[in-house]
């Protein structure tokens, strides 16, 4: 197994030790599992961890001196959204042993797919001088601990934002609006957004209860899902370059649209669907209702 060789000295295993990540639910901590099958984009993640850093051992193994400015950083990456960010940054300096309490909260609307948490010890500022082969460039990663979590649920798999349509150009009496990017190779979670009108309280409540909906919630969700499917299908068919054989990046909007059409119309080509839409758009909209089984379980 090959190992990447860094151009500077790094701490030994005894210098920096991370504990296991903990998922916090209603104030109670649980060991973070490999996957969250009931997760949806309404669910933010509250996570905690503890990292022990022996700065004396770090300095001895890297050649850095006690005046070196270090930081313990938590970086998250989500394949579903294609997004990446810094969840927490804790400065470290001086000598002796330190216990760093990490406490991060990640918004569900930015996540999806495979979530990767990289806990890193980095050199916070560049240094002009130092021991031979000691790290000198600011941002150099001296140590990393990686943890992954697969997020997959049965609730709607796209980001949702609740906004006041009065403050937008959208019709104030509408319940929701689907925003779609024209660039089909963009990550789906960054290319698709469902806006829900906060003035439509029953609809907002239905989406909040999407993971465990009441009978009335199922009615609103069924109507919304049918309309969202129709919007996405028409968006795909309106693009002359879109086809089942088109190559799109994994987790991209184009790949999502291909999957949607294959699931709803498994025996029809894109060209045939385009023709049906052009010849009888009203009938085609009704066929989409049938394909999504609207109100079947309401």
Q: Where are the domains of the chain?
A: 16-151, 160-291
- Residue bearing tokens 């693009």: 239
SS3 164: coil
What is the token pair recorded at 154? 């049965």
pLDDT band at residue 155, thresholds of 50, 70 and 90?
Answer: very low
Beta-carbon-side half-sphere exposure of residue 192 (alpha carbons within 13 Å): 28
pLDDT of residue 84: 83
Q: Are 120 and 139 in contact (CB under 8 A)?
A: no
Q: Tell me the range of 72-81, 117-126, 156-165, 168-177 where mean pLDDT is highest.
A: 168-177
The yes or no reply on domain 16-151 and CATH 3.60.21 is: no
Which of 41-50, 65-74, 123-132, 173-182 is predicted least confidently? 123-132
pLDDT band at residue 146, thresholds of 50, 70 and 90?
Answer: very high
pLDDT of residue 154: 42
Strands 113-123 and 97-106: unpaired
| 233 vs 28 pLDDT, higher one | 233
- Computed over every residue of the chain, the mean pLDDT equals 86
pLDDT of residue 81: 64
Q: Are 135 and 142 in contact (CB under 8 A)?
A: yes
pTM: 0.57
């Amino acid at each position: 197994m090959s190992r990447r060789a860094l151009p500077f000295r790094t701490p030994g295993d005894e210098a920096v030790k991370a504990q296991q990540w903990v998922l916090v639910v209603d104030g109670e901590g649980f060991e973070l599992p490999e996957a969250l099958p009931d997760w949806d984009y309404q669910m933010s993640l509250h996570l905690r961890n503890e990292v022990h850093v022996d700065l004396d051992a770090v300095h001895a193994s890297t050649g850095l001196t006690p005046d070196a400015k270090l930081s313990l950083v938590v970086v998250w990456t989500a394949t579903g959204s294609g997004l990446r960010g810094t969840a927490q940054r804790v400065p470290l300096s001086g000598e002796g042993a330190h216990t760093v309490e990490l406490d991060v909260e990640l918004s569900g609307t930015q996540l999806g797919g495979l979530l990767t948490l990289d806990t890193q010890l980095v050199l916070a500022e560049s240094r002009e001088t130092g021991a031979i082969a000691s790290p000198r460039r600011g941002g150099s990663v001296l140590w990393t601990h990686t943890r992954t979590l697969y997020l997959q649920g049965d609730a709607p798999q796209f980001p949702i934002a609740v906004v006041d349509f009065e403050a937008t150009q959208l019709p104030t009496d509408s319940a929701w609006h689907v925003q779609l990017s024209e660039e089909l190779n963009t990550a789906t979670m960054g290319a698709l957004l469902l806006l829900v009108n906060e003035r439509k309280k029953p609809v907002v409540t239905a989406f909040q209860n999407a993971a465990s909906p009441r009978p009335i919630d199922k009615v609103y969700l069924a109507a919304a899902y049918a309309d969202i499917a129709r919007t996405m299908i028409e968006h795909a068919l309106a693009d002359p370059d879109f086809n089942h054989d088109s190559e799109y990046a994994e987790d991209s909007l184009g790949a999502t649209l291909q999957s949607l059409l294959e699931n709803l119309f498994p025996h029809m080509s894109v060209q045939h669907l385009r023709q049906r839409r052009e010849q009888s758009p009203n009938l085609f909209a009704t066929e989409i209702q049938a394909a999504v089984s609207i109100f079947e379980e309401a």
